[in-house]
């Protein structure tokens, strides 16, 4: 019986091709939008998580304290962790390595070319901590840091802007009028989380930056320090030790707040992940508005169809169709429209999200959830939007229906 | 001809209750029997109640009081689901405006009642072709009804009415939308089918059409005013019975 009903429903919707297609279009767009938005949300979420993970999930970040005035957060305070602090932290138990950054924005000059770059003074461990790789040449060493050598390891944007097609290794660039020798180039990383150009970077020994570039009145302080724990499960413990050591070194008395903040990468990943999840849910919720519009479209079309086919319904009833059959047929029509629309929408949604991912350089996962959600939505939308018209058809009095003009 | 009673109408009344508490009595104490193989014309002027009677006979409506027994089924006691089954198995309908599904093939139209009896697709098609032969429409099965004339469309509707081997065929003004020549053809087809033993009840207000029937029941103002042989009918013989 079900096969016969589905076949009847199929023939009925196939009889009005354009109308059926236009009705399906609403659902197609709705489902495609949901699939694309969910995929986009997931892609961004994965990208963020991967980025954090690539930096090492067992990383502890130490930054300036938060400024709180009268209970209101007022941004970050001045840097408080010194290079010496970072070196001392390396001696702590269960710490694999430490690193730090001193940031400066300066104009780099080579020959007649110049370009505004972000200079980061650090130690050689920064590469490992931040997942950078050397493309060409070498990274400076601890010895170079101690000697404050005027060495520069430059990112791909700097290579392109200053050297074009020339090999930059061994060349001398000038920053603030002082010469620096390019000893290595970094492998391209692409845009960062906020769309910033990560490759517009020059790494230098921190001592070099402090002595030759940073015009900061507090050159001995780091912008941000990194402590890499030996394993993820030791992080809490290491964080406690870091806090204790820094409080001791900064001579903070009991009751005085920390003049630094200690954050665990795992916590941040978790936070970002939950933000990403909310973002995905929000995007899906917005996209589902078009699904609702699509389902209203189905309901509208089915109501028109019931009115238009009133006499057919009367005839079918006169010829022996039970009420349940009439209801099932109209329900099957709306479910079929919704099902086909959802399926096509899902295919387009996946295709477009893959295409979009390809264009923007994101890896977009094909989520099994997209499929499950699409099919569920199809059936639910089909039933919900088809139920009222189907009940209307079922309740039609055959005598009135046969008389309908 | 067999003498089995197919339709037994006993004291049937039909009253419509309107909003505001008023009511309108459309059929008043109707009694008659129709035997298997009869060809009966139900006549009457507009508003006489003949269509209401036809709806009750066709199990599309139930009497307010009285009894209607069709093929042994007491119709008044059946629910909608049971009535649908009875309609599907024992009744064939022919409507004034054919009521064909124009977007479907003629075979689909003819075999429609069989779907509700869970007959398989191939058998439905074969039986439709067989019925179309009976109404002289061989070779038309795969076309849509829009490609054939009104008379042919009515013949398709007759084939549809015949497909489930019904005990009785109800035809409601079957020639109302046809010209006189085509009307004659359709009525001759009914006569032919009747001669093969099929019971036919038709509602009409046209004397020419009623002339094809052997028996006539006339309704006026909700009362049966004549029930007898069509050829013996005269206005003077009408009585409220």
Q: Which residue of chain A is at minimal alpha-carbon distance from B110? A: A319
Reported confidence tier of residue A255, pLDDT bands at 50, 70, 90: confident
By the 8 A CB rule, do B39 and B190 touch? yes
Q: What is the 3-state secondary structure (H, E, C) of chain A?
A: CHHHHHHHHHHHHHHCHHHHHHHHHHHHHHHHHHHHHHHHHHHHHHHHHHHHHHCCCCEEEEEECEEEECCEEEEECCCCCEHHHHHHHCCCCCEEEEEEEEEEEEEEEECCEEEEEEEEEECCCHHHHHCCCEEEECCCCHHHHHHCCCEEEECHHHHHHHHCCCCCCCCEEEECCEEEEEEEEECCCCECCCCCECCCEEEEEHHHHHHHHCCCCCCCECCEEEEEECCHHHHHHHHHHHHHHHHHHCCCCCCCCCCEEEEEHHHHHHHHHHHHHHHHHHHHHHHHHHHHHHHHHHHHHHHHHHHHCHHHHHHHHHCCCCHHHHHHHHHHHHHHHHHHHHHHHHHHHHHHHHHHHHHHCCCCCCCHHHHHHHHHHHHHHHHHHHHHHHHHHHHCCHHHHHHCC
Q: Which residue of chain B is at minimal alpha-carbon distance from A325? A: B116
Single residue among A258, A287, A304 that ends a domain in this structure = A258
Q: Which of B84, B113, B154, B168 to mutate to test the interface with A (most CBs of A within 10 A)?
A: B84
CA–CA separation, B216 and B43 (whole Å): 7
A194, A331: one domain: no
A-chain CB neighbours of B104 within 8 Å are 11, 15
Question: Mean pLDDT across the stretch A5-22?
Answer: 90
Sheet bearing B73-74, strands edge to edge: B23-35, B5-17, B65-70, B73-74
Q: Which residue of chain B is at minimal alpha-carbon distance from A315? A: B99
B-chain CB neighbours of A7 within 8 Å are 121
pLDDT of B114 above 90: yes
A203, A124: one domain: yes
Tell me if chain A has a CB within 8 Å of the CB of B87.
yes
pLDDT at A79: 76
Nearest one of A251, A218, A235 to A77, comparing CA atoms: A218
Which range among A252-261, A365-374, B230-239 has the greatest average pLDDT? Answer: A252-261
> Which residues of B18-164 form beta strands (DSSP E)?
23-35, 39-43, 65-70, 73-74, 91-94
A117, A28: one domain: no
- A351 belongs to a structural domain: yes
Locate tokens 């603030």: which residue? A176
pLDDT at A197: 79
pLDDT at A270: 79
Reported confidence tier of residue B64, pLDDT bands at 50, 70, 90: very high
A-chain CB neighbours of B55 within 8 Å are 399
pLDDT of B35 above 70: yes
- A314 belongs to a structural domain: yes
Q: Which residue of chain A is at minimal alpha-carbon distance from B55? A: A399
CA of B32 to nearest chain A CA: how many angstroms apart? 23
pLDDT of B7 above 90: yes
**ipTM of predicted assembly, 2 dp:** 0.91
Closest partner CB to B58 (pick from A7, A312, A318): A318
A152, A194: one domain: yes
**Cβ separation of B60 and A398 shorter than 8 Å?**
yes
By the 8 A CB rule, do A60 and A229 touch? yes
pTM higher than the cut 0.80: no
CA–CA separation, A206 and A145 (whole Å): 6
Q: How many CB atoms lie within 10 A of CB B79?
A: 7
What is the share, in percent, of chain B residues with pLDDT greater than 70?
98
Q: Which residue of chain B is at minimal alpha-carbon distance from A394? A: B80
C-alpha A194: how far from chain center: 10
- A395 belongs to a structural domain: yes
Tell me if chain A has a CB within 8 Å of the CB of B58.
yes
By the 8 A CB rule, do B153 and B113 touch? no
A335, A210: one domain: no
In sequence order, the β-bridge partners of residue A95 are: A229
Tokens of A102: 């001193």
CA of A14 to nearest chain B CA: how many angstroms apart? 10
DSSP 8-class letter at B47: T
Express each pLDDT in B127-180 by its tens digit: 999 999 988 899 999 999 999 998 899 999 999 999 988 989 999 989 888 888
Nearest one of A164, A149, A148 to A110, comparing CA atoms: A164
Tell me if chain A has a CB within 8 Å of the CB of B49.
no
Closest partner CB to B115 (pick from A4, A15, A317): A4
Express each pLDDT in A193-244 by its tens digit: 556 778 889 999 988 888 888 766 666 777 788 888 888 788 888 989 988 9
Go through the domains of chain B in sequence order and give each one's CATH number.
38-49+85-237 (3.40.50.300)
Single residue among A205, A232, A258 that ends a domain in this structure = A258
CA–CA separation, A340 and A357 (whole Å): 25
Tell me if chain A has a CB within 8 Å of the CB of B105.
no
Locate tokens 């064939």: which residue? B92
Residue A212's φ and ψ, nearest 5 degrees, are -110, -20
Reported confidence tier of residue A288, pLDDT bands at 50, 70, 90: confident
By the 8 A CB rule, do A171 and A205 touch? no
Reported confidence tier of residue B96, pLDDT bands at 50, 70, 90: confident
The number of folded domains in chain A is 2
Structural domain of A40: 2-51+271-403
pLDDT of A31 above 70: yes
A199, A248: one domain: yes
A311, A362: one domain: yes
A279, A219: one domain: no
- A295 belongs to a structural domain: yes
pLDDT at B1: 47
- A64 belongs to a structural domain: no
A107, A252: one domain: yes
A94, A184: one domain: yes
Question: Mean pLDDT across the stretch B62-78?
Answer: 91
A108, A233: one domain: yes
Express each pLDDT in A321-378 by its tens digit: 999 999 999 999 999 999 999 889 989 988 998 898 888 877 787 777 777 877 787 7
Single residue among A258, A288, A303 that ends a domain in this structure = A258
**Cβ separation of B112 and A402 shorter than 8 Å?**
no
- A264 belongs to a structural domain: no
A98, A226: one domain: yes
**Cβ separation of A315 and B95 shorter than 8 Å?**
yes
- A60 belongs to a structural domain: no
Reported confidence tier of residue A70, pLDDT bands at 50, 70, 90: low
pLDDT of B126 above 90: yes
CA of B114 to nearest chain A CA: how many angstroms apart? 9
Reported confidence tier of residue A56, pLDDT bands at 50, 70, 90: low
Tell me if chain A has a CB within 8 Å of the CB of B190.
no
- A76 belongs to a structural domain: no
């Amino acid at each position: 019986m079900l096969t016969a009903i589905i076949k009847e429903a199929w023939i009925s919707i196939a009889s009005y091709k354009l109308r059926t297609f236009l009705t399906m279009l609403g659902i197609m767009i709705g489902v495609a939008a949901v699939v694309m938005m969910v995929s986009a949300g997931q892609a961004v979420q994965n990208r963020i998580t991967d980025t954090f993970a690539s930096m090492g999930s067992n990383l502890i970040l130490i930054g300036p304290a938060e400024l709180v005035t009268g209970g209101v957060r007022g941004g970050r305070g001045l840097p408080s962790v010194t290079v010496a602090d970072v070196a001392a932290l390396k001696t702590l138990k269960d710490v694999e390595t430490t690193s730090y950054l001193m940031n400066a924005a300066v104009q780099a000059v080579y020959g007649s070319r110049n370009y505004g770059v972000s200079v980061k003074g650090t130690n050689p461990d920064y590469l490992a901590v931040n997942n950078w790789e050397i493309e060409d040449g070498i990274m400076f060493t601890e010895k170079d840091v101690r000697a404050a050598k005027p060495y520069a390891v430059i990112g791909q944007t700097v290579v392109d802007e200053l050297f074009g097609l020339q090999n930059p290794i061994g060349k001398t660039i000038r920053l603030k009028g002082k010469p620096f020798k390019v000893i290595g180039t970094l492998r391209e990383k692409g845009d960062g989380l906020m769309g910033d150009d990560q490759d517009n970077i020059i790494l230098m020994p921190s001592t070099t930056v402090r002595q030759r570039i940073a015009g900061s009145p507090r050159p001995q302080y780091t912008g941000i320090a990194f402590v890499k724990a030996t394993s993820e499960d030791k992080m809490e413990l290491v964080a406690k030790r870091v806090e204790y050591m820094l409080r001791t070194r900064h001579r903070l008395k009991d009751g005085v707040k920390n003049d630094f903040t200690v954050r665990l990468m795992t916590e941040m990943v978790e936070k970002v992940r939950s933000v990403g999840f909310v973002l995905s849910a929000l995007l899906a919720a917005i996209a589902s508005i078009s699904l609702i519009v699509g389902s209203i479209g189905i309901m509208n079309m089915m109501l028109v169809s019931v009115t238009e086919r009133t006499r057919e319904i009367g005839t079918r009833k006169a010829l022996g169709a039970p009420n349940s059959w009439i209801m099932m047929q109209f329900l099957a029509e709306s479910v079929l429209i919704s099902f086909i629309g959802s399926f096509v929408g899902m295919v387009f949604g996946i295709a477009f999200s893959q295409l979009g991912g390809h264009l923007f350089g994101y890896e977009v996962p094909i989520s099994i959830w997209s499929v499950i959600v699409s099919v569920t939505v199809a059936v639910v939308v089909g039933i919900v939007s088809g139920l009222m018209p189907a009940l209307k058809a079922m309740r039609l009095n055959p005598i009135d229906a046969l008389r309908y003009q | 001809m067999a003498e089995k009673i197919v339709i037994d109408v006993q004291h049937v009344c039909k009253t419509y209750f309107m909003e505001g508490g008023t009511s309108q009595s459309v059929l008043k104490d109707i009694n008659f029997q129709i035997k298997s193989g009869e060809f009966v014309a139900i006549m009457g002027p507009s508003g006489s109640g003949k269509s209401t009677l036809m709806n009750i006979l066709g199990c599309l409506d139930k009497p307010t009081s009285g009894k209607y027994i069709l093929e042994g089924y007491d119709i008044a006691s059946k629910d909608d689901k049971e009535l649908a089954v009875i309609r599907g198995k024992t009744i064939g309908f022919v409507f004034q405006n054919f009521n064909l599904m124009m977007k479907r093939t003629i075979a689909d139209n003819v075999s429609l009642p069989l779907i509700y009896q869970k007959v398989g697709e191939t058998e439905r098609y074969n039986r439709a072709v067989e019925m179309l032969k009976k109404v002289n429409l061989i070779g038309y099965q795969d076309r849509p009804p829009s490609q054939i004339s009104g008379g042919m469309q009515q013949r398709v509707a007759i084939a549809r009415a015949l497909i489930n081997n019904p005990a009785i065929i109800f035809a409601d003004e079957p020639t109302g939308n046809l010209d006189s020549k085509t009307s004659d053809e359709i009525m001759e087809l009914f006569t032919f089918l009747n001669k093969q033993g099929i019971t036919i009840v038709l509602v009409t207000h046209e004397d020419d059409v009623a002339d094809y029937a052997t028996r006539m029941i006339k309704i006026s103002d909700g009362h049966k005013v004549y029930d007898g042989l069509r050829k013996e009918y005269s206005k003077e013989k009408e009585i409220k019975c």
